[in-house]
């Protein structure tokens, strides 16, 4: 169905009416819906795997590892903690509020949520966010990506088979349909995508002062630093795995590597060796290697390869018909070159050499640019690494590892500035989709005239002395 402003408005109003019945406020209801979501993923597993293969050439193993499995884990984590998270908090009001000594903080859902998901993980980044929305007690309109059309069709079927439209609905279409959604008054918007589009989302949301969470990729890309004391074989193995995953189309993927020039050559030799070991001489010929989402992205890889042809030291080949492009190492690249000043979101991998003794200058460059979504460092100097990781600003990251920080239960995931705002996963997702409401229950007797006029004279003096005592 081609959506119009009228059809989108009708869905939103239907969900708003349903939310106002209070059905979603019941934690038992949310638990039931989360269990239905988990069952739906398992029951539609084959359909979802086929869709991911059609859109991105993801094998069943990669589809479960990166899309379906994490949704199950996310739902299980929420089910384990939701009763505790949703429980109202009791607080002592303090002597300043005497005699009204009891205050409660209720965790209230926002209402009707809009979830705009991307093409690269069309199942995970739709259903994972939906799980957070459900946990908070909201209804949800899911605006899925038109680029991953097969996954959108699979989600439409799965959601229609599982939930009524007044509770969860899928709206498909391009940017025009996204704008139809953004023109509506939602109570919460969660957008995953690029910083450029995020500015538009914020602008549209501002018209209704709607609370927004953004999960972005980082405008100037995610850095991986390899110091001269790093275990280069271990680093190469992990970096190669990560760059092959989804053909580099991952918001937390390594955009560029900064490698100490003292070990640059042996590191590059190990990295090439790992690419070949894991995917073969020509990745584009491996049936398990994911494809690029559109020919436009393929053409970008071709254009960058041609632009840096004299510095392509590995890869640089592709299969246009299959829309696959091999992991391509470009070396050496200057820290100020254009290729390392924006997010690539593809298999291109520029490598920037630096003198290890001048690591401070490199960190200054990274700090001066927009905050990345992720940060990775490889070194044996854990003290230095921990100092860097707690002083730079970025979304999240790893020391001597890649990507798996986002798989840890109980911790938040998202960026800051141009790489995002807000956070989710587990309890953090529950918090993102709820508003804490503070309610004090007043007393009708023993109320002191402390806050009332007069404020001057002897009465004022007595009140000031009492206030000073209460505020200790």
User: Is 97 known to be catalytic?
Assistant: no
Positive or negative torsion for Cα 339, 240, 192, 3 = positive
CA–CA distance from 433 to each of 55, 66, 113, 115, 200 (Å)? Answer: 30, 24, 8, 11, 21
How many Å apart are CA 277 and CA 180, to the nearest integer? 47
Give per-10-residue mean pLDDT for the chain (472 aa): 93 98 98 98 98 98 96 98 98 88 97 98 98 98 98 98 98 96 98 96 98 93 97 98 98 98 98 98 97 98 98 98 98 98 97 98 97 98 98 97 95 96 97 98 89 90 86 70
Q: Order across the sheet with 420-421: list the strands.
A: 168-171, 139-143, 112-116, 188-193, 211-216, 420-421
The C-alpha angle 423, 426, 428, rounded to 5 degrees, equals 30
User: Is 46 known to be catalytic?
Assistant: no
Domain pair 5-217+420-435 / 223-407, same fold? no
- Pick the closest to residue 229 from 16, 438, 72, 378 (CA basis): 378
Q: Which residue has the tokens 């436009």?
A: 296
- Mention the CATH class of domain 5-217+420-435: alpha beta
Residue tagged active-site, from 66, 181, 245, 251: 251
Helix (H, G, I), strand (E, B) or coil at 398: strand
Positive or negative torsion for Cα 456, 459, 465, 467 = negative
Would you state the pLDDT for residue 159?
Answer: 98
Would you state the pLDDT for residue 354?
Answer: 98
With residue 69 as reference, give the H or E element that holds it.
helix 69-86
Q: Is the pTM of this model over 0.85?
A: yes
How many Å apart are CA 338 and CA 445, to the nearest integer? 70
CATH code at 223-407: 3.40.309.10
Token couple for 351: 């490598």
Would you state the pLDDT for residue 472?
Answer: 67
Q: Where are the domains of the chain?
A: 5-217+420-435, 223-407, 442-470
How many Å apart are CA 443 and CA 430, to the nearest integer? 33
Residue tagged active-site, from 215, 270, 370, 427: 215
Would you state the pLDDT for residue 287?
Answer: 97
Would you state the pLDDT for residue 263?
Answer: 98
259 bridge partner residues? 226, 353
- Pick the closest to residue 115 from 7, 8, 213, 249 (CA basis): 213
How many Å apart are CA 292 and CA 365, to the nearest integer? 30
According to the 3-state scheme, what is the secondary structure of 134-167? Answer: HHHCCEEEEECCCCCHHHHHHHHHHHHHHCCCCC
């Amino acid at each position: 169905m081609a959506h119009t402003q009228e059809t989108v408005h009708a869905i939103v109003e239907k969900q708003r009416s349903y939310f106002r019945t209070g059905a979603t406020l019941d934690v038992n209801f949310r638990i039931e819906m989360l269990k239905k979501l988990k069952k739906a993923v398992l029951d539609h597993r084959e359909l979802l795997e086929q869709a991911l293969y059609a859109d991105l050439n993801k094998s069943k193993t990669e589809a479960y590892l990166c899309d379906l499995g994490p949704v199950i884990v996310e739902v299980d984590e929420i089910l384990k903690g939701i009763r505790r998270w949703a429980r109202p908090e009791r607080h002592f009001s303090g002597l300043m509020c005497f005699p009204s000594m009891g205050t409660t903080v209720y965790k209230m859902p926002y209402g009707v949520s809009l979830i705009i998901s991307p093409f690269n993980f069309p199942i995970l980044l739709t259903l994972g966010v939906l799980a957070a929305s459900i946990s908070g007690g909201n209804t949800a309109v899911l605006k899925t990506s038109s680029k991953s059309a097969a996954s959108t069709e699979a989600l439409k079927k799965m959601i229609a088979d599982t939930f009524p439209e007044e509770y969860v609905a899928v709206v498909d279409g391009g940017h025009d349909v996204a704008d139809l959604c953004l023109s509506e008054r939602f109570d919460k918007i969660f957008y995953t995508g690029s910083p450029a589009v995020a500015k538009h989302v914020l602008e549209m949301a501002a018209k209704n002062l709607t609370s927004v969470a953004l999960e972005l990729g980082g405008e100037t890309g995610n850095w991986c630093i390899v110091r001269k004391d790093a275990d280069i074989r271990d680093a190469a193995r992990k970096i190669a795995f990560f760059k092959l995953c989804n053909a580099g189309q991952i918001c937390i993927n390594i955009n560029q590597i900064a490698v100490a020039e003292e070990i640059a050559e042996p590191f590059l030799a190990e990295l090439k060796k790992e690419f070949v070991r894991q995917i073969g001489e020509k990745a584009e010929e491996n049936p398990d290697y994911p494809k690029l989402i559109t020919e436009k992205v393929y053409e970008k890889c071709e254009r960058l390869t041609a632009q840096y042809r004299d510095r392509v030291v590995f890869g640089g080949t592709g299969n246009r018909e299959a829309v696959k492009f091999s992991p391509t190492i470009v070396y050496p690249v200057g820290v100020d070159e254009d290729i390392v000043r924006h997010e690539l979101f593809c298999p291109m991998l520029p490598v920037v050499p630096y003198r290890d003794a001048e690591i401070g200058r490199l960190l200054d460059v990274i700090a001066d640019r927009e905050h990345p979504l992720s940060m990775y460092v490889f070194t044996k100097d854990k003290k230095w690494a921990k100092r860097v990781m707690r002083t730079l600003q970025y979304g999240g990251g790893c020391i001597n590892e890649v990507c798996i920080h986002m798989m840890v239960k109980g911790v938040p995931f998202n960026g800051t500035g141009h790489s995002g705002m807000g956070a989710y996963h587990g309890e953090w997702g529950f918090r993102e989709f709820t508003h804490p409401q503070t309610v004090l229950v007043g007393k009708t007797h023993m109320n002191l005239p402390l806050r009332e006029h007069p404020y001057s004279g002897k009465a004022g003096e007595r009140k000031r002395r009492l206030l000073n005592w209460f505020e200790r």
